[in-house]
Amino acid sequence: MTTSPLALPFPDLPPVSGVMLRVARAHYKAWDRCDLTFAELTPGTIVAGVLTQSRCPSPEVEWCRQALVLGRARALVVNAGNSNAFTGKRGRAAVEAIAARVAVQLGCQPSDVFVASTGVIGVPLPIDKAEAGLDAAFVAAPCGWREAADAIGTTDTFPKGATTTAMVDGRTVTLVGIIKGSGMIAPDMATMLGFVFTDVACEPAFLQAALAAANARSFSCITVDGDTSTSDTVLAFATGAAGNAPLVDHDCPGADAFRAALADLCRQLALLVVRDGEGASKLIEVQVTGAESDRSAHVIAMSIANSPLVKTAIAGGDANWGRVVMAVGKAGEPAERDRLSIRFGNTQVARDGLAVEGYDETPVSAHLAGQEVEIGVELGLGDGRATVWTCDLTHGYISINADYRS
Amino acid sequence: MTTSPLALPFPDLPPVSGVMLRVARAHYKAWDRCDLTFAELTPGTIVAGVLTQSRCPSPEVEWCRQALVLGRARALVVNAGNSNAFTGKRGRAAVEAIAARVAVQLGCQPSDVFVASTGVIGVPLPIDKAEAGLDAAFVAAPCGWREAADAIGTTDTFPKGATTTAMVDGRTVTLVGIIKGSGMIAPDMATMLGFVFTDVACEPAFLQAALAAANARSFSCITVDGDTSTSDTVLAFATGAAGNAPLVDHDCPGADAFRAALADLCRQLALLVVRDGEGASKLIEVQVTGAESDRSAHVIAMSIANSPLVKTAIAGGDANWGRVVMAVGKAGEPAERDRLSIRFGNTQVARDGLAVEGYDETPVSAHLAGQEVEIGVELGLGDGRATVWTCDLTHGYISINADYRS
């Protein structure tokens, strides 16, 4: 697998106190690499999560949804190479077996164990391989973030991680995240799984609200091909080891700083997924302003970001703003042709429903020749705004998905 | 442009009494071909239409929407090579100029003249070329359906037409349709325009209701890439020359026969568009049954038909039913994993939320190797059903849309 041209180097990530990582070979596929990740979390760690809206979710997603109600976590297990989705009772049994084995090892409740899997759909996760992999992980030497980021990947072309800090209650708290996926796309090999670890002390409800808010501006604002996974999972774990006065609600000192840091981290992670979008050669930011509401702006922005005609035009370096008009028109949200303005980068190409007279295509072509492309749409109706990110649609996408046999 | 491998030969189409066709060169682009089509309709012809739902429609669409209220038509003008969309007042002026010139020629009202245009977005239709083209058409010799089907095309790789008949009031009425487009896709060169001509006598409201019903099962059930045009237009003209007692409502003798014939004709035309889908190598029929409602079934079927991962899998001849599960799950409609069954052709691959034990992939692979692929999804929830058609997503689509410069 060729590394994406949009790849970024894996950053130096600091340890998060209270988090111990180990990886092992469960041999879920015929490959010689670690494919089981085991994160042990200090007692008292709290957890929040956002999960796929798919009506056909994996048993892992259902397990996490139930366990999140309790808000406590002692471990995370991630399986790569088999998503365990659409496998009925046998799939559920595999998740329960993993949770039970970890619970015995750590002396905790099975509901303290979070499980996520990614890979082919429709094949029950083999319990014997999972158990053998776990037993190997239990006795493995602790590893770093890079090893874990590698072990959770499938068709990813580069490992993805990010970090940030926040000042809370006079202490510096650390946030680290790792993520895998080549977009929101789901099947077979490309589920998006993201994990955030922090040493902040906080209540589960606070962490859940902060994660939901961050998600709305990050993971929910990216798309590679509009195909939503059966297994998409983002979990945030807070060990409390920083020793700050626990964050309870938005009014606590430091709450805003932590929320901002978490939002920044999620945005970094989300953009890394787009950078590894299947076949991607350009990162596209779509900014919609002047909509009737933020929600309406988001729908229009996603309509543009999911339009194969817009994405192929960008791949071809073509300032084809007519395709942007088309995507605005088909979104079904309020829009008035005669108020619509469109720009590529900083160059206005259409204003008030008309092509700009004699506009100079030179700066637009230069902008589109780069790796990062910005499309701006001003609707002229209100104050609603949204920003989403996607990648272009290239021959590489077709090769990866059509020339591949499940 | 290579002819689509799914192309069908242009059929023998009978004349429709009351319809006179002429074509001319307006030179909307630097090409040497007829690109203006002028259909003269006998006095008393009535008209119905369905138009794009785009919030940014072309002035032609707005013109037709207003003129349809009156329900009468004396002429249709179709321009190929320039969609005239997103061109503000100058675009509107071009449509009005065309209608005025034809009205003078025929001694009718401008509102009796229907206009449709297809091609590049954002360039006002040049009035001088349109008027010169019309003047040439007025004195041209009448032509046949094949010439008109060629003249309305843009990126189409083959001309498309169909016919059928119905017995109404003891008389055989004829229906003929021509259509252009490489899908619902819109911009630049690929708007869908469809025109149906019949000699039946009927009231405008009856024709409109019959066309709307036919559209719901045909044009609204096809997708190439989910990108909806700014100019999609289907118009039906009824000259009344068959001399039957006019059809007024559903209870008239022959009304059912005519409605069935119109639905059949629209379905034929819609499938021809999918067969010319950009880059298409396979025609895909998606049948969803057992949904909570017909509407819900349609949403799920379109989610499958628009999924790039499903479409690339079919392009690769890969029975990747996990991608179908994904597309059902992301549709947001009621679905229960443990009741879901999926088949390719006649072979069941998943039943009640599980892969069929030891199913034989041989017949599935043989089915997927053909040019016509059928995907069946049974939800097990109710009686709602829908059938939609699409094509696969291939390197050809990327080449046409990314390697092309507007």
Please write the tens of the pLDDT for every residue from A137-154.
Answer: 999 999 999 999 999 998
What is the residue-averaged pLDDT of chain A? 89
Burial pattern B133-156, b for ≥16 Cβ within 10 A else e, equals: bbebbeebeebebbbbbbbbbbbb
CB B220 within 8 A of CB B184: no
Length of chain B: 406
Best residue in A55, A61, A229, A278 to probe B by mutation, most B CBs within 10 Å? A55
| Residue A191 pLDDT grade (very low, low, confident, very high; cuts 50, 70, 90) | low
What's the rounded mean pLDDT across residues A304-308?
A: 91
Interatomic CA distance for residues B80 and A71, integer angstroms = 62
| Strand positions, DSSP E, B125-245 | 160-168, 171-180, 193-198, 233-238
Looking at residue A185, its pLDDT comes to 44
Average pLDDT over residues B379-402: 89
Active site residues of B: 191
Q: How many residues does chain A have?
A: 406
Task: Grade residue A202 by pLDDT with cuts at 50, 70 and 90.
Answer: very high
Calculate how close chain A gets to B356, using CA atoms only, in Å: 10
* CB of A335 closer than 8 Å to CB of A300: yes
DSSP one-letter string for A220-251: GGEESSS---SS-EEEEEE--TT-PPPB-STT
Phi and psi, residue A275, nearest 5°: -60, -20
Do residue B312 and residue A402 have CB atoms under 8 angstroms apart? yes
Predicted pLDDT of residue B191: 56
Local structure of residue B77 (DSSP, 8 states): E
Q: Taking residues A191-215, what's their average pLDDT?
A: 89
* pTM score of the predicted model: 0.82
| CA separation, residue A181 to residues A155, A208, A269, B22, B350 (Å) | 7, 22, 10, 56, 26
Q: Indicate the pLDDT class of residue B9, thresholds 50, 70 and 90.
A: very high
> Domain limits of chain A?
19-275, 283-402
List the one residue out of B180, B121, B187, B174 whose CA is nearest residue B154.
Answer: B180
Instruction: List the structure tokens of B230.
Output: 């700014």
pLDDT digits (tens, 9 = 90+) for A261-296: 999 998 888 888 888 888 889 999 999 999 999 999
In the predicted structure, residue B73 carries a pLDDT above the cut 50: yes
Shortest Cα–Cα distance, A166 to chain B (Å): 36
Task: Please name the member of B87, B392, B402 whose beta carbon is closest to the beta carbon of A312.
Answer: B402
CA B286 – CA B376 distance, rounded (Å): 6
Question: What gap in Å lies between CA A306 and CA A284, rounded to an integer?
Answer: 11
The 3 state secondary structure assigned to A278-295 is CCCCCEEEEEEEEECCHH
* pLDDT for B185 beyond 50: no
CA distance B323 to B310: 6
| pLDDT of amino acid B404 | 55
Which tens digit of pLDDT belongs to each residue from B320-348? 888 898 899 888 898 888 899 999 999 99
**Would you call B350 and A122 a contact, using CB atoms and an 8 Å cutoff?**
yes
pLDDT band at A92 (very low <50, low <70, confident <90, very high): very high
B376, exposed or middle or buried, with CB in 10 Å at 0-12, 13-18, 19+? buried
Q: For residue A72, give the nearest of A108, A44, A103 by alpha carbon.
A: A44
Q: 3-state secondary structure string, chain A? A: CCCCCCCCCCCCCCCCCCEEEEEECCCCCCCCCCCEEEEEECCCCEEEEEECCCCCCCHHHHHHHHHHCCCECCEEEEEEEECCCCCHHHHHHHHHHHHHHHHHHHCCCHHHEEEEEEEECCCCCCHHHHHHHHHHHHCCCCECHHHHHHHCCCCCCCCEEEEEEEEECCEEEEEEEEEECCCCCCCCCCCCEEEEEECCCECHHHHHHHHHHHHHCCHHHEECCCCCCCCCEEEEEECCCCCCCCECCCCCCCHHHHHHHHHHHHHHHHHHHHHCCCCCCCEEEEEEEEECCHHHHHHHHHHHHCCHHHHHHHHCCCCCHHHHHHHHHHCCCCCCHHHCEEEECCEEEEECCEECCCCCHHHHHHHHHCCEEEEEEECCCCCEEEEEEEECCCHHHHHHHHCCCC
What pLDDT, on a 0 to 100 scale, did the predictor assign at position B314? 93
A86, A309, A338: residue with CB nearest B88: A338
What are the structure tokens assigned to A338, written together? 């005669």
pLDDT number for residue B186: 33
CA distance A315 to A397: 11
- Domain range B19-275, CATH class: alpha beta
Half-sphere exposure of B322 (CA within 13 A, CB side): 30
The pLDDT tens digits for A358-388 are 878 889 999 999 999 999 999 999 999 999 9
Chain A residues 107-136 within an 8 A CB cutoff of chain B: 120-123
Residue B188 pLDDT grade (very low, low, confident, very high; cuts 50, 70, 90): very low
pLDDT single digits (tens) A16-49: 999 999 999 999 999 999 999 999 999 999 998 8
| Percentage of residues in chain A having pLDDT higher than 90 | 60
At residue A66's C-alpha, the angle toward residues A127 and B380, to 5°, is: 80
A405 → closest Cβ in B318, B326, B354: B318
Of B122, B326, B405, the CB nearest to A321: B122
Band of the pLDDT at B57, cuts 50, 70, 90? confident
Amino acid A405: pLDDT: 52
Mean pLDDT of A146-171: 91
pLDDT at B354: 83
With cut-offs at 50, 70 and 90, classify the pLDDT of residue B29: very high
Can you tell me which residue has the tokens 């194969």?
Answer: A308
Token pair belonging to B162 = 């169909």
A283-402 fold: Ubiquitin-like (UB roll) (3.10.20)
Q: Residue A401: its pLDDT value, please? A: 78
> What number is the average pLDDT over the span B179-196?
61
Contact yes or no for A325/A352 (Cβ under 8 A): no
Structure letter (DSSP) for residue A377: E
Burial B381-399 (b: 16+ CB within 10 A, else e): beebbbbbbbbbbbbbbbb
Chain A, nearest residue to B320 by Cα: A406
Inter-chain CB proximity B312 and A186 less than 8 Å: no
Please give the pLDDT value at position B184: 46
Pick from A87, A394, A402: which is nearest to B316 by CB? A402
A361 touches chain B (CB under 8 A): no
Residue in the block written with tokens 């859940």: A208
| CA torsion angle A239 A241 A245 A250 (round to 10) | -40
Strand order in the sheet with A19-24: A19-24, A36-41, A75-82, A113-120
Whole-angstrom distance, CA of residue B92 vs CA of residue B219: 26
pLDDT at B103: 97
CA nearest to A318, candidates A396, A395, A399, A373 = A373
Interchain contact, A318 vs B404, CB within 8 Å: yes
> Would you tell me which residues 162-221 of chain A have a C-beta closer than 8 angstroms to some C-beta of chain B?
185-188
Pairing label, strands A171-180, A160-168: antiparallel
Tell me, letter by letter, the H, E, C secondary structure of A110-125.
HHHEEEEEEEECCCCC
Could you tell me if B240 and B246 are in contact, meaning their C-beta atoms sit under 8 angstroms apart?
A: yes
CA–CA dist A225, A241 (Å, integer):
39
What pLDDT is stored for residue B232 in this prediction?
79
User: A344 CA to chain B: closest CA distance, Å?
Assistant: 15
Collect all residues of chain B within an 8 Å Cβ-Cβ radius of residue A125: none
Give residues 380 to 399 of A whose Cβ lies within 8 Å of B.
Answer: 392-395, 397-399
Mutate to test the interface with B, among A189, A278, A398, A406 (most CBs of B within 10 A): A398
Q: Shortest Cα distance from A170 to chain B (angstroms)?
A: 44
- Across the beta sheet with B113-120, the strand order is B19-24, B36-41, B75-82, B113-120
Q: How far is A121 from chain B (nearest CA, A)?
A: 5
Q: How far is A253 from chain B (nearest CA, A)?
A: 39
Which residue did the predictor score with more confidence, B10 or B50? B10
Q: Which residue has the tokens 């940014």?
A: B56
Contact A225/B at CB under 8 A:
yes
Strand A46-51 versus strand A233-238 pairing type: antiparallel
**Residues from chain A contacting residue B336 (CB–CB below 8 Å):** 55
Q: Which of B232, B281, B300, B312 to mutate to test the interface with A (most CBs of A within 10 A)?
A: B312
Task: Give the nearest partner residue to A325 out of B86, B225, B320, using CB atoms.
Answer: B86
Instruction: State the sign of the Cα–Cα–Cα–Cα dihedral A397, A403, B1, B5.
Output: negative
- What's the pLDDT band for A338 if we cut at 50, 70, 90? confident
Nearest C-alpha neighbor of B199 from the set B350, B24, B44:
B44
Please give the Cα distance from B385 to B322 (Å, whole number). 21
Average pLDDT rounded to a whole number, residues B190-206: 85
Report d(CA A161, CA A145) in Å as an integer.
8
Instruction: Using pLDDT thresholds of 50, 70 and 90, give the confidence band for residue A182.
Output: low
Per residue in A104-132, pLDDT (tens digit) is 999 999 999 999 998 888 889 999 999 99
Strands of the B341-344 sheet, one edge to the other: B354-355, B347-351, B341-344, B372-378, B283-291, B384-391
| More confidently predicted of B399 and B283 | B283
Asked if A406's CB is within 8 angstroms of B320's CB, the reply is yes
Q: Helical H runs in B229-376?
A: 255-275, 294-305, 308-315, 321-330, 361-369
As a whole number, the mean pLDDT across chain B is 89
Q: What's the pLDDT band for A248 if we cut at 50, 70, 90?
A: very high
